[in-house]
Amino acid sequence: MKIITLHESEETLIKKALKRDPKAEEKLFKKHAPRMLSVCRNYISDLHYAEDVMITGFTKVFDNLHRFRFEGSFEGWIRRIMVREAIDFLRSRKQMQFAEVEEAAFVSIDANPDDFDTDALQLLIDALPDGYRTVLVMYAVEGYSHKDIADMLGISESTSKSQLFKARKVLQQQLENQKNTAHGKGF
């Protein structure tokens, strides 16, 4: 029985893309673009700008494909490029400001994310100031440490912590407001 391979492995596609195979490049793009647009959207509230950033990011991905060493996951590698591109975009628009917070105490968010759909959560995050949102997404969604965040954003670790504290506080406030509104509507 002859087995026909219908699905090319990612490694094969990357190797073809390294040889400037346009079909392989397009396949890689189509495979990763939806998730990468979501990554960019986490940082940039305007979807059109987020797509611009994603396109620039993919341009860099393909131009620097030879630097990918096949050591980690390809998606992770692209993701890091996208995050950096999004940060550069926010910096270029001077949207990111990091206000120091005197006290970075523990803030608990008494809410269940299952109560909100993804779009609603995204809207809550969008409502945060850029500095808060960036640190929150980098820490909570991407899993960067405060040291990594400090390095990437050019801030101190304590600033990163304080930004996260503030972000949580504002987010908690918003969630409570939403809850109260929902309860009010229920009665």
Partner 1 sequence: MEKDFEKELSHKLNQRTIEPSSNAWERVNLQRGKTKKRPTYIRYWIAALFVLGLGILWMQIGNQETEIPTEIVKSENNPSKPAQTKAGIELPEPSAKEQIATITPRKTEIAEPANTQTAKPELPKQQTLTLASADVRRHGIEDKITSTVVLMIDSGKKVDADDVDLLIEKARKEIAAGNGLSKRTDATALLKDSESEIDENFRTGVLENLFKHKKIKVALSSH
Given candidates 2, 7, 19, 30, which one binds partner 1 under the rule CB under 8 A?
A: 30
Window of 2-10, 110-118, 151-159, 179-187 that interacts with partner 1 by CB under 8 A:
110-118
d(CA 159, CA 13): 41
Contact 128, 169 (CB under 8 A): no
DSSP state of 3: P
Does position 65 bind partner 1 by CB under 8 A?
Answer: no
Nearer to partner 1, 1 or 37 (CB): 37
Toward partner 1, which CB reaches closer, 29 or 68? Answer: 29
Cα–Cα separations (whole angstroms), residue 96 to 5, 58, 157: 48, 23, 16
* Closer residue to partner 1, CB minimum distance, 17 or 155: 17
Q: Which amino acid is at 133?
A: R
CA R_g for the chain:
20
Q: Which of 17, 41, 128, 135 binds partner 1 (CB under 8 A)?
A: 41
Q: Quick one: CA dihedral 145, 100, 155, 77, positive or negative?
A: positive
Among 101, 121, 123, 152, which residue interacts with partner 1 (rule: CB under 8 A)? Answer: 121
For Cα atoms 90, 94, 100, give the angle at the middle one, nearest 5 degrees.
95
Where do contacts with partner 1 occur on this chain (CB under 8 A)? 22, 26, 29-30, 33-35, 37-38, 41-42, 47, 50-51, 54-56, 58-59, 62-63, 106-114, 118, 121-122, 137, 139-141, 143, 168
